[in-house]
Amino acid sequence: MTHFVDTLALKEKIFILDNLALSGESFSTKYSIGVKKCQKYYSNSDYYQITKTIVSNYTIELAVKLRNAAELMDANDFQYMNEKIIVCYPIGIHADSHQEKRDLLYICNKIIHAKKFRIDAVSSTKYNADFKWWSGDLTISGNYQGNKQPPWEFFFSINSWCEAAISFINSSESSLHSINARAEDSLLFR
């Protein structure tokens, strides 16, 4: 029996994650995130902890479920979209101003195996110097299997990852519904 793939639930989490990334600046300025004397509803710590929790939980859940959906599609010989549209920028010892485009499933695998996961903050001189918000970028790093190579580390835009995820789901939704409908245990409930 395969896992059931709920494409609507995946789309909902992608939608929320994408909106959270896009709204960081607006939310931060409205609620004075980072400006201690002006914070009434959310402290800097609240903003960081809530944002990191949502981003971390949603990305790991989505990464596992999207990779599982792709494996189901492969096992059933269905096609799906997995374009290299997510721009990744190496950092740390790999930093060289080189950018590389990666596909959804590559990033899903890296999210699943990441040893470090960081939401990146930004600020702007057009606001109070203490304002800061999540930029929508994630920095992840980890080790290659066997640890014979230096660790990998890069950052990417969660918005482009969400766009790739929606493209994948849209290209595979009817096939995934077909796989769900053919589940052998579904006969028990007919």
pLDDT for 45-62, tens place per residue?
A: 999 999 999 999 999 999
Residues in the chain: 190
pLDDT tens for each residue of 19-34: 999 999 999 989 988 8
Looking at the predicted structure, is the pLDDT value of residue 1 above 90?
A: no
Asked if residue 14 belongs to a domain, the reply is yes
Q: How far apart are CA 30 and CA 51, in angstroms?
A: 16
Asked if residue 187 belongs to a domain, the reply is no
Asked if residue 19 belongs to a domain, the reply is yes
- Report whether 86 contacts 164 (CB < 8 A): yes
Q: How far apart are CA 175 and CA 84, in angstroms?
A: 22
Q: How far apart are CA 154 and CA 111, in angstroms?
A: 11
Asked if residue 188 belongs to a domain, the reply is no
Q: Count of domains in the chain?
A: 1
- Report whether 16 contacts 58 (CB < 8 A): yes
Asked if residue 2 belongs to a domain, the reply is no
Asked if residue 53 belongs to a domain, the reply is yes
Whether pTM exceeds 0.85: yes
- Residue 29 in tokens: 């300025």
Asked if residue 189 belongs to a domain, the reply is no
Q: How far apart are CA 47 and CA 7, in angstroms?
A: 29
Owning domain of residue 85: 7-182
pLDDT tens for each residue of 57-94: 999 999 999 999 999 999 999 999 999 999 998 875 55
The sign one gets for the Cα dihedral 94, 143, 145, 79 is: negative
